[in-house]
Structure 1
Amino acid sequence: MTDVTLDKTPVDEVPVPSAPLRQPRLPRWAPFGLAVLAAALGCGIGLAAGLDSRIQWGLIAAVLYVAITFSLTTAVEGKRQARDRLATSVVWVCFLIAVVPLLSLIWETVARGSKVLDNTFLTHSMNGVITLQPGGGAYHALIGTLEQIGLASLLAAPIGLLTAIYLVEYGTGKLAKAITFFVDVMTGIPSIVAGLFVLAFWIIYLDMGYSGFAGAMSLAILMMPIVVRSTEEMLKLVPNELREASLALGVPKWLTILRVVLPTAIGGITTGVMLAIARIAGETAPILLLVFGASSINANPFDGAQSSLPYYVYEQWKLGNEASYDRAWGAALLLIAFVMVLNLLARGIAAWKAPKSGR
């Protein structure tokens, strides 16, 4: 009788065919290398096709980059990873398309505005200056801008702050809904509408005349809804436990708002106000209607025509000669620098207040 030997090897010890645990991946430098390749192919195709515009070369390179990335990732990593890389590539291409015009604008403004932006430009006006010749400055326009923005802030910031406090702390019923609705409407109105309103009421109906204060009122109308919205969101971030603890100690509600709520949210409120100021600093349409423009220095915003940086840029560009073009670019660079300083100041205040609020 033949003996049959059975294999008594445990099932757990049966060798299993090894399979790769990691899928193949493109190297980390692949996106950069593909971008260089796509740029080279885009330039080559543009030259071969006789395209003069560098923008067309860039668009061709962007399309090639997305297509090559998707095809190569599909072949190496599979369709699932290819879709992920496709989405990432499209986002990066859209980001570059959005950033390139901005960088081009900044480069052009700095290159052309820096030629006249010196101490003379910042300390002299256009009074008595022949517009066809170099010289003069934007001191009168800078004074007008600072005064108009300062008056607009004095008008809009307290009203916006009090309105936001009412909506968050007290607002209930139809009145609060109506205020919220009109704030939303004011957020979307064109700046020229605010200028026409002040022109009709202040200058035509009341016959008060053109002045920097008239321009400041129109800027305040544009600034107010931004202050209300930003302050409202900051007040909503204050924990209710702080309010309840203060009220439990017998502190009145108005004093709780003044001593607890506002100090907690002061960093975000200040940032919102600074960003609102930066928003109105470059408004041109209402200024054209209301301040009327002046070539000399007028430090009184309540009496007589006054200039501003946006109006000065428009005025110099309208003259249509090389010297006025240079002055317009210099004022534009000064305005961009002013807005950038306000934005950086707002960011700094937010960063300075953030660690304290988190303790």
Structure 2
Amino acid sequence: MASLARRRATDHIVKAISTAFAALSLILLAWILWTLIARGLPALGPNVFTRITLPPGHEGGLLNAIVGSLIQIVVALVIGTPIGLFCGTFLAENGRGTQIANVVRFINDVLLSAPSILIGLFVYQLLVVPVGGFSGWAGAAALAVIIIPVVVRTTEDMLNLVPIGLREAAFALGAPQWKVVTMVTWRAARAGIMTGILLALARAAGETAPLLFTSLGNNGWSLDMSGPMASLPIAIYQYAASPFDDWVALAWAGALIITVGVLTLNILSRLVLAKMK
């Protein structure tokens, strides 16, 4: 009886501590969101979406940074998603128990946990130094490296959840392996794969450090990815430390835009997963 009472007391204590830390996390999150809304919403006017960066006092906006971020993220998604999808498919369908799969999985885990600034330095040495200048292509490549390991891990995990009986039934009907993968396993795991892609996109959208070493930033309007290109995270980084009040206000507005975008992607991924289930 004494042992049972002690276990119950320990259980209550652990539950109380866990609940307290969860409540503290929610309070901190609500505090951050409230500060972001209180500072960013008043600065979120039409000029933010219709004007490019202008000198202090000229009511500039973030149009060039928003468009630059969208271009680089879309290019990174186009580069990273197929690589991550096919790599994750290989690990789940063809590489089970092989040494090369273990090596690929280990490297992917390293990339998944690597600081984004190291990825930026890697792409800087690979694409910026040989070319002799910063570019939007280098920024997109850095974001693609961030996207790839997330898609690889999600794809492999989702395909491993597909019952082996589905594959065996398709093979019994005489379907080749490529058709089994594309018509059976991908379809069965499409909800989880799509969720992983959206989460990878949300992670890459707010990265600043890799872009500082690759696309650098641009205060003017430019759609040329062969030169420095503006992006929203870099604009926030630059404006937040500015001594000008209007640029600081733009930094808060940009932070609110990124937060809303990432939150929307996370909610969308949940809705997609629930609908496909």
Pairwise TM-score range, normalised by the shorter structure: over 0.9
Distance 1:80 1:303, change over 3 A: closer
User: Could you say which structure has the greater relative contact order, defined with CA pairs below 8 angstroms and 6 or more residues apart?
Assistant: 2
Say yes or no: does 1:313 pair with 2:236. yes
Say yes or no: does 1:341 pair with 2:268. no
C-alpha distance in structure 2 between counterparts of 1:261 and 1:347, whole Å: 21
Q: Structure 1 residue 195: deviation in Å?
A: 0.8
**Which amino acid in the other structure matches residue 350 of structure 1?**
L
Q: Structure 1 residue 83: deviation in Å?
A: 4.2
Q: Which residue of 1 aligns with 2:99?
A: 174
Say yes or no: does 1:93 pair with 2:20. yes
SS of residue matched to 2:213? helix
Match of 1:243 among 167, 178, 182: 167
**Which amino acid in the other structure matches residue 233 of structure 2?**
P
C-alpha distance in structure 1 between counterparts of 2:268 and 2:210, whole Å: 26
Q: Structure 1 residue 88: deviation in Å?
A: 2.4
Aligned Cα root-mean-square deviation (Å): 1.5
**Which amino acid in the other structure matches residue 262 of structure 2?**
V
Pairwise mapping of residues 157-196 of structure 1 onto structure 2 (< 5 A)?
157-171=81-95, 172-196=97-121
Say yes or no: does 1:299 pair with 2:223. yes
**Which amino acid in the other structure matches residue 320 of structure 1?**
P
**Which amino acid in the other structure matches residue 201 of structure 2?**
I
Q: Structure 1 residue 163: deviation in Å?
A: 0.5
TM score, norm. by length of structure 2: 0.94
SS of residue matched to 1:149? helix
Q: Which one has a bigger Cα radius of gyration?
A: 1
TM score, norm. by length of structure 1: 0.73
Match of 1:256 among 169, 180, 185: 180
SS of residue matched to 1:107? helix
SS of residue matched to 1:319? coil
Say yes or no: does 1:329 pair with 2:256. no
Q: Structure 1 residue 178: deviation in Å?
A: 1.3
Matched residue count: 272
Say yes or no: does 1:114 pair with 2:41. yes
C-alpha distance in structure 2 between counterparts of 1:180 and 1:85, whole Å: 40
Q: Which residue of 1 aligns with 2:76?
A: 152
C-alpha distance in structure 2 between counterparts of 1:318 and 1:290, whole Å: 21
C-alpha distance in structure 2 between counterparts of 1:230 and 1:84, whole Å: 34
Q: Which residue of 1 aligns with 2:52?
A: 125
Contact 2:128/2:135 (<8 A) preserved = no
Q: Structure 1 residue 316: deviation in Å?
A: 0.7
**Which amino acid in the other structure matches residue 224 of structure 1?**
I
C-alpha distance in structure 2 between counterparts of 1:91 and 1:144, whole Å: 42
C-alpha distance in structure 2 between counterparts of 1:327 and 1:135, whole Å: 10
Q: Which residue of 2 aligns with 1:72?
A: none
Match of 2:144 among 202, 214, 220: 220
Q: 1:26-45 deviations in whole A, cap 9, x for unaligned?
A: xxxxxxxxxxxxxxxxxxxx
Q: Structure 1 residue 321: deviation in Å?
A: 2.4
Q: 1:141-175 deviations in whole A, cap 9, x for unaligned?
A: 11011111111111111000000111111114221
C-alpha distance in structure 1 between counterparts of 2:190 and 2:136, whole Å: 30
Q: Structure 1 residue 200: deviation in Å?
A: 1.0
Distance 1:97 1:250, change over 3 A: same
Q: Structure 1 residue 290: deviation in Å?
A: 1.3
C-alpha distance in structure 2 between counterparts of 1:206 and 1:99, whole Å: 46
State which drifts further: 266-275 or 78-87: 78-87
Q: Structure 1 residue 324: deviation in Å?
A: 1.5
C-alpha distance in structure 1 between counterparts of 2:198 and 2:208, whole Å: 19
Q: Percent identity?
A: 36
**Which amino acid in the other structure matches residue 296 of structure 1?**
G
Q: 1:14-56 deviations in whole A, cap 9, x for unaligned?
A: xxxxxxxxxxxxxxxxxxxxxxxxxxxxxxxxxxxxxxxxxxx
Q: 1:67-99 deviations in whole A, cap 9, x for unaligned?
A: xxxxxxxxxxx8765544333221211112212
C-alpha distance in structure 1 between counterparts of 2:173 and 2:244, whole Å: 70
Q: Structure 1 residue 102: deviation in Å?
A: 1.3
SS of residue matched to 2:189? helix
Q: 1:240-261 deviations in whole A, cap 9, x for unaligned?
A: 1010000001111111111111
**Which amino acid in the other structure matches residue 243 of structure 2?**
G
SS of residue matched to 1:283? coil
